[in-house]
Amino acid sequence: MNVNIESLDFKADKKLLDFIEKKVDKLTKFYDGIVSADVKLRLEKEESKENKIAEIKLNVPQSDLFAKRNSTTFEEAVDDVVEALRRQLKKHKEKLMRR
């Protein structure tokens, strides 16, 4: 699977990039038909505690799956997004099996 990571308004360090790739790669355990993943990391302009946003769009055959979460850290936001996508992948896989 091809993972494209884009950080807007800041430079993500290698540790964060490796963490994201590792987490996104784990999604292939639930559905091996994932073509690619587009990850976007952003900082909200507002100075609130939960100003770190992670968005992931998974390209799978016949569909695209998307999730977006914000949190106090990028790692936590990515964990939340990956969990949401895991649930979506399971539903998508069940839907395909019913056809």
Q: How many domains does the chain have?
A: 1
Confidence of residue 86 (pLDDT cuts 50, 70, 90): very high
pLDDT at 99 over 80: no
Q: What is the pLDDT of residues 1-23, one digit of tens each?
A: 899 999 998 899 999 999 999 99
pLDDT of residue 91: 92
Model's pTM, two decimal places? 0.92
Structural domain range at position 24? 2-98
Give the model's pLDDT for residue 62: 84
DSSP state of 35: -
DSSP 45-97: SS--S--EEEEEEEEETTEEEEEEEEESSHHHHHHHHHHHHHHHHHHHHHHHH
Quick one: average pLDDT of 89-95? 91
CATH of the domain at 60: 3.30.160.100
Q: Model confidence over 50-60: pLDDT tens digits?
A: 889 999 999 99
